[in-house]
Amino acid sequence: MPEAKVDPRLGNKEMKASVEQMNAARIPVEFRDYCAHLLLPLNKCRRRHYYMPWHCEHERHSYEVCQYEDYAERAKEMENIRSEGAWKGDNSPRP
């Protein structure tokens, strides 16, 4: 199996949850991001407590903080790309 290419701008981000774990937990593809390792125990807790909103608050908060930090990191990186002049807008070449 070939090694995954790492974009140096992303730092040392790596997936902490394996594909097998996410498949076993039936995590939808759109939620398989760098915070998926926190979604696994959250969904387990939700199922155990029948999705009662007052349960699993700690797990939900941890997941939401991870999501926000990931978003803030990506927004900061995009701002850095724009300020460097690397972003060409609509004039950039299409793959």
Taking 50 as the threshold, does the pLDDT of residue 36 lie above it? yes
Across the range 59-63, mean pLDDT stands at 97
Give pTM, 2 decimals: 0.76
Of the two residues 1 and 23, the one the predictor is more confident about is 23
* String of DSSP letters for the chain: -PPPP--GGG-S---SS-HHHHHHTT--GGG-STTHHHHHHHHHHHHHTTT-TTSSHHHHHHHHHHHHHHHHHHHHHHHHHHHTT---GGGSPP-
